[in-house]
Every structure is written in structure tokens, then in C-alpha cells.
Amino acid sequence: MILQNKSLLRSKAYINGEWISANNGASYKISNPFNGEIIATLPDLGRDETKMAIEKSDIAQKVWKTKTAGERSNILRKWFDLMMENKEDLGYILTIEQGKPLKEAIGEVVYGASFIEWFAEEAKRTYGDVIPSHAKDIRIVTIKQAIGVVAAITPWNFPNSMITRKAGAALAAGCSIVVKPAKNTPLSALALAVLADEAGIPPGVFNIITSNRSSEIGDELTSNPIIRKLSFTGSTEVGKVLIKKCADTVKKVSMELGGNAPFIVFADADINKAVEGVMISKFRNSGQTCVCSNRIYAHSSIYKEFTEKLSKEVNKLHLGNGLEEGTNIGPMINLKAVNFVTKLVNDAKEKGAKVITGGCCSDIGKTFYKPTVLTDVDTSMDVHKQEIFGPIAPVFKFETESEVVQLANDTEYGLAAYFYGRDYAMIWRVAEALEYGMVGINTGLISTTLAPFGGIKESGFGREGSKYGIDEYLEIKYMCFGDVS
């Protein structure tokens, strides 16, 4: 495939409707994780440029918020239409900078665009209330207003949809936004900016900071009093730092942080469908998603059958260049990620786990690790405690419902959980008992625009998508009218 709309591939940052370089001329390179080829050289912006972006965004927001909800909705709808018209090119850019297979990348683009479409409609539904009064001459009214300028820090694993999920809601609410995409996947963000400009989103309302200096940019976004809301998707470790820094200016924050998702297969489950669910949940994006099944629990009575069928399906996966037809597992994001999963597998093997498929790097390239199934794993192994973020499926054995629920909840994380079974009394009990913000029941794919996405415990707080998502960017104002008699 060749990029058709070459204007989408940009090599400058986007601030206040202009394509800019760093003030000091600094730059850094972006490489394709498949082969290490340099695909772009981008401005390495610093604190001064970020401050300028925030100030310009503040000016723009004061005008943007005065547009009617219908006007904002129409512009967002144009943005959505342009994304869909250019979905193949957006997918191509995503694949060369992130590595995931092209079909999967285009799927992410469509998923990302759906948030723009959804919030284009939700812009018209930010209703207030008239509240029955406590006195005859008093009237009580509430309205919802845009919180102001928003900062978004987004990850490398979903460089399109993690931006649109935040920007769609923010812009619909009447906020402007300054986005700091991950340093190694900014090209998708810049392509979105091209289409935002074409759709008529005014200068300063949508801004993209490209930088290799994440801490410096983060310091400005968290300390600048103009920023009234920070939305972050990333690791729990970084999220905690950002929360602390935002406290000094009492910003509203939403955090979508790490996960350690259990995937439970009960004795009465449809095993074939459970295997299908694991394949969808575990190996999408080479296992590099926050809602990936991390710890798979199979009942002892079906453990052998389940692991054999899972291994058979895993062996069908084809590793390769995401741009090549037939590839369904791309590279990991970098060598650091490969080394991490290698360490996890080695730890499991040293403690008695068995590798029934995979278990080593691939000779395709340095950033490839073979999809792996581990059996005979136990809670002493690091694969039980740590977020794997790679194509490793450890399968644990359990005996009772209460035992597996306790094991599933034995983590500081609480983002997503999955289980398969047919006993509906048990389904209700387990779904209620699992300490997670999202639970997939007889499905391995839970992400959708229509449902609230987010976690509990150390997986964060706040919700994205659904009718609840726009509330993260609104403040409730109470107005008391006196002397109405």
C-alpha cells in the first residue's frame, strides 16, 4: 500500500493552526518498529512552546465555547467524515509508526472516528435542571459549562483512538485541547490535526505538541494554571506523578492507567468460544493493550482441553510486517518491550512453568516475540503480578468459584476482567464480585463508543466514551433566582 493523501504525513508540530518547528531547531527521529527505518524527523518542542500553545488555546477556547452546541456538532461531524474518507491512509500511518497490522490499524481508525461522531451528537445533550425550590419566591436552576482548556497525554499503543476519545468529548463540551502524544507515535496525531483544520476546527482549539522531552512537557501541562483539566492514558506509575503535580493548581483529572486483567473459563463454559475470546483479548496489538487478558484461569476439569485448543489457535498466528497481507501479529513497540516479556517468560520457566508454544524471540526481527502459551503457572511467578503488555498467555488452574474470584481480585489494578460460563446465577455473582470497572461476560471484546471506559483502584478514575464521557469536561453551575414572588 502507498499513502494516497500525502498531506496527512506531517513533520512539524501543530499549534494555533500553524505547523511549527522548535524554537531552538531541536528535532528527533521516529522509526518503524518493524525494521527500524527512520520515517520522520519531528520538532522536539520544550516548555516555552508548550506554554505558548496553552496561551493560544486559552484565547481560542473563549470563542469556541460561545458557539452553539449545534455549530460545534456540525464541525465535529465534518471531522468524522474526513476521518472515514481517509481511513486507509490514517491506518497506513498508524502501522508504520506503531507496528500493528494494517487491518487492525484501520479498525482502530474507525473506532477512533466513532468517538468524534458520538460526541458530535452528545454536544446537543448537555442538559441542566430546574430543581423544585425550598421557598415560594426562589427558583433553582443548574447549567453545564465547559471546564476550559484541557491537556491530554496519550500512549503509543493506540495513537489514534486515545486522542479522539478525549478530544471528541472536550471539543463537544466547548473546551479547547492541547495534546501531547507519545514521543514515538506522533504521526497519527498530526494526521488528525490536518483533518481537524480541513473540517473547520478553529486555530488554537486543537493543538499537537511533538517532543522527546516528556517530563518537561508534563511539568508545564500540570503546573500551568490555564489548564483546568488533565486527561491521561498510560502507566499507573506516571499517572500517580501527574496526579500529585496537578494538585498544586487543583485541576480536574481523569486517569486511565495500568491493568492486570483476569480471564476466567468456568467448567460449564463453551470452550471453543472461550478460546476465541482469549485470542481477541490477549493477542490484539501483540498483547500491548491495557485491557488485554493478563492472567487466564481455567477450571481444572477443562484445563487440558482448553490449553490444547488455545495453543492450536495461537500457532495459526502469522507474524510479520503490518503492511503485508496475512499478518495478524506485528512487532512489539521496541527492544525494551521485548526484553521485558523475555524476562517474564524466563522467570516463569525457572519457577516451573511449561512453554507449550512460543516462548522465545522470533527470527523475523529484533522487535518480534513469538505468541506464547504457558501452563503450570502459579501465583509466585511475575506473570501473575505484573502487567505483561506482550503476546504471552499464562494459564492458571483453579477449582472453585470463590477461589478464582479471590485470585482475580488479588491485584492493585481494576480496569478490565473477563469470564466465560453458562450458569446465570453464577454469572451475576461473579460479575458483581469482580473488582473491576469493566467486565466482559462471554466476550473478549468490550471496547465500544457507547459504553463507559475506565477502571477502579490503581487503574484510575473517570470514564471515557458513552453518555458519561462528556461530563468529564463540564462543570455544573447552580443559579439561585430570588424575589420571584
Write the DSSP assignment of 31-100 as a string of letters.
E-TTT--EEEEEE---HHHHHHHHHHHHHHHHHHTTS-HHHHHHHHHHHHHHHHHTHHHHHHHHHHHH--
Which stretches of 124-232 are DSSP H helices?
161-173, 187-199, 214-223
Grid cell at residue 49: 512552546
Of 108, 124, 130, 77, the C-alpha closest to 188 is: 108
**Is 281 in contact with 445 (CB distance < 8 Å)?**
yes
Residue 130: exposure state from Cβ atoms within 10 A (0-12, 13-18, ≥19): exposed
> What is the chain's length?
485
**Is 259 in contact with 415 (CB distance < 8 Å)?**
yes
Of 167, 211, 186, 212, the C-alpha closest to 57 is: 167
Concerning whether 480 is annotated as a catalytic residue, the answer is no
Concerning whether 256 is annotated as a catalytic residue, the answer is yes
Grid cell at residue 248: 498544586
Of 7, 10, 13, the C-alpha closest to 26 is: 13
Residues 352-364 as b/e (b if ≥16 CB within 10 A, e otherwise) read: ebebbbbbebbeb
Of 68, 228, 215, 221, the C-alpha closest to 150 is: 228
- Which entry of 97, 122, 256, 472 is annotated as an active-site residue? 256
d(CA 56, CA 414): 37
Grid cell at residue 2: 502507498
- Which entry of 175, 246, 290, 292 is annotated as an active-site residue? 290
**Is 419 in contact with 430 (CB distance < 8 Å)?**
yes
Q: For the chain, how are helix, strand and coil distributed in percent, rounded to 5?
A: 40, 20, 40
d(CA 92, CA 376): 40
- Catalytic positions are 256, 290
